[in-house]
Structure 1
Amino acid sequence: MFCRSSGNEGMEPLLSNVEPRTYETHKCKLEPSLARRAEHYFSENMRVIKGLEAWASGNLEDFGKLISASGLSSIQNYECGCEPLIQLYEILLRAPGVYGARFSGAGFRGCCIAFVDANCAIEAASFVRNEYKKLQPKLASQINQENVVLICDTADCACVI
């Protein structure tokens, strides 16, 4: 629809072939659920660009806000995430030292990741374990609580070991 509406009928009908300005002009022609999903796509691309800038400038707070906005858009616009996963995301946002959180593994019964101040990592992990157990006691009792929250350090880059 965007390709035809924008005069680019010869293009393959993929969102990656649609300019953000064209999307903004013609998004009203989409059914609501498709418009929300397209909104996630375009807003996610902008978050990546802004995230690169925030990371490069050392602005961890802004980087975290972008991660969290990505998570919220995944829930609201892309309609992913089951109740336990959404609850985990919300708990992470309240945990001490967390700059931001989002789904990983596409959000369909995957997992969440959080960007956390290293000085608060152990406290944040304990908070998440305790709060999740309150909201999902049955599910929490089925898993090893010590391994449900993993604290990972960053590395320079991917490499062959």
Structure 2
Amino acid sequence: MAPHDVETTFQRHFGYAPLLVRAPGRINLIGEHTDYNNGFVLPAAINKEIFFAVGLNGRPEARLVSQDLNETYSFPVEAPRRQDRQWANYLIGVTAQLQKLGLDVPGFDCVFGGTIPIGSGLSSSAALESGLAVALNQLLDGQLNRMQLARAGQLAEHEFAGVQCGIMDQFASLHGRAGQVVRLDCRSMEYEYFPFDTTACDIVLCNSGVKHALADSEYNTRRRECEQGVALLKQHYPGIESLRDATREQLEAHRAELGDVVYRRCRYVVEENARVEAACRHLLAHDLTAFGQEMYGSHAGLRDDYEVSCRELDFLVEAARPAAGVYGSRMMGGGFGGCTINLVAPDQVTTFVRNTRAAYQQQFGRALETYHVTIVEGVAVV
């Protein structure tokens, strides 16, 4: 899939020249489920992408074409409403959010398709939202900045896709820089770039093949459990507005009141924030071994305290741990499936991929897809 593929489809369907936009998926090196708790994340945009062909059609409706699914959908732009076609909801939602931000969105045509594996935890939904937002902002000469576009994508997900996601995925797709990861403070929205030495290690993703639906109850349940913890802690410590403000000592002091489940959810988030800050220090010190230990700690917390892993992800992380040249491994994304992210010395990548595929096939009786990814620029007009 390349830009000219969606352009060709657009010309065939609609008969005029479109604007072309590339929107990347994202990885998150560390900092999982911290974004909606006002914490820290460390994502980057990657070369798994969705390409868009978009044009204004002078009609009262938007006409959408999903090239990968070979499906079409249309909706009236003056009254965007949530529909029963889930992929369309992301785009309908973006249209509605841009209108709320004062952009007068007329009828438009959109063809999209790409290389982000659906359900892999690489944030195809955020790329979908961010790409359309940039395209419409450009076509309509809008003055919305990238943070506003990220927020529009996040709210589209909340209100139209039914997922109470944080801001990280849309932010990373829009703010990516080649060869750098970005630490986002999800409370202040301040961010800082850190160099990621791609000569010292490669990024290899192993796709468990287990499909996860983020919109299912578990993701939103975790968010509610964290909110319950904050509400209780706030009774004792009025300064606590989110788990970002809480300490391990405060959690321990009220462990019995919190109850086992809520306590463990909160403990994971508090510790994960500390791991992100430590990981950034390791990057500055060029200490990939120490960085990798933070990744293993992150996975253990996601598995045991947050309980969003699955046996396939756990198997992949444990298979990576003793492998030559592997600095670190963990599950990535919302959980219940998707990918592990592995930092591997370049001269060991081929062996790592071969051995991990063989072990996975033997254990689960199915093929393991792997992706060798690079860190790229964020959403851009092609």
TM-score of the two chains, using structure 2 as the length reference: 0.37
Q: 1:153 aligns with which of 374, 378, 381?
A: 374
CA-to-partner distance for each residue in 1:86-141, whole Å, 9 max, x for gaps? 2122212232211111111222112111111112111111111011111111x33x
Q: For 2:371, what is the secondary structure of its paired residue? A: coil
Match of 1:3 in 2: 234
Indicate the larger mover: 28-37 or 39-48: 28-37
SS in 2 for 1:80: coil
Cα offset for 1:159? 5.9
Q: For this pair of structures, how many residues does the alignment match?
A: 150
Mark the runs of 5 or more structure 1 residues left unpaired by the alignment. Answer: none
User: Paired residue for 1:86?
Assistant: 314
Q: In the alignment, is the contact (CA less than 8 A) between 2:244 and 2:273 conserved in 1? A: no
Q: Kindly tell me: are residues 45 and 31 of structure 1, through their superposed partners in 2, closer, same or farther at Cα, counting changes over 3 Å?
A: same
Equivalence map 1:1-161=2 (5 Å): 1-6=232-237, 8=238, 14-137=242-365, 139-140=366-367, 145=368, 148-155=369-376, 158=378, 160=380
Q: Distance in 2 between matches of 1:47 and 1:28?
A: 25
Letter of the 2:373 partner, please give it.
Answer: C
Tell me the distance in 1 between the aligned counterparts of 2:375 and 2:321: 20
Cα distance, 1:22 vs. partner? 2.8
2-structure distance, mates of 1:88, 1:5: 41
Tell me, in whole angstroms, the C-alpha distance in 2 between the residues paired with 1:45 and 1:11: 15
Could you tell me how far 1:43 is from its partner in structure 2? 0.5
* Structure with larger Rg: 2
User: Quick check: 2:244–2:270 contact (8 Å CA) kept in 1?
Assistant: no
Relative to structure 1, the CA distance from residue 24 to residue 108 in structure 2 (aligned partners, 3 Å threshold; closer, same or farther) is same
The structure with more strand, counted as a fraction of residues: 2
Higher relative contact order (CA closer than 8 Å, sequence separation 6+): 2
AA aligned to 1:78 is Y
**Superposition CA RMSD, Å:** 2.1
Q: Indicate if the aligned counterparts of 1:5 and 1:26 stay in contact, CA closer than 8 A.
A: no
Q: TM-score w.r.t. structure 1 length?
A: 0.82
Letter aligned with residue 129 of structure 1: R
5+ residue gaps, structure 2, are 1-231
8 A Cα contact 1:3 1:18, kept in partner: no
Distance change in 2, residues 1:153/1:118 (3 Å): farther
Shift of 1:60: 0.5
1:11 to 1:61, Cα distance in 2 relative to 1, 3 A: closer
Identity, % of aligned positions? 25
Query: Can you list the C-alpha shifts for 1:55-88, whole angstroms capped at 9, x where unaligned?
Result: 1110010001101110111001101112222212
Partner Cα distance (1:46, 1:17) in 2: 12
Distance in 2 (CA, whole Å) between partners of 1:103 and 1:15 is 22
Amino acid at match of 2:276: V
Greater helix share, structure number:
1
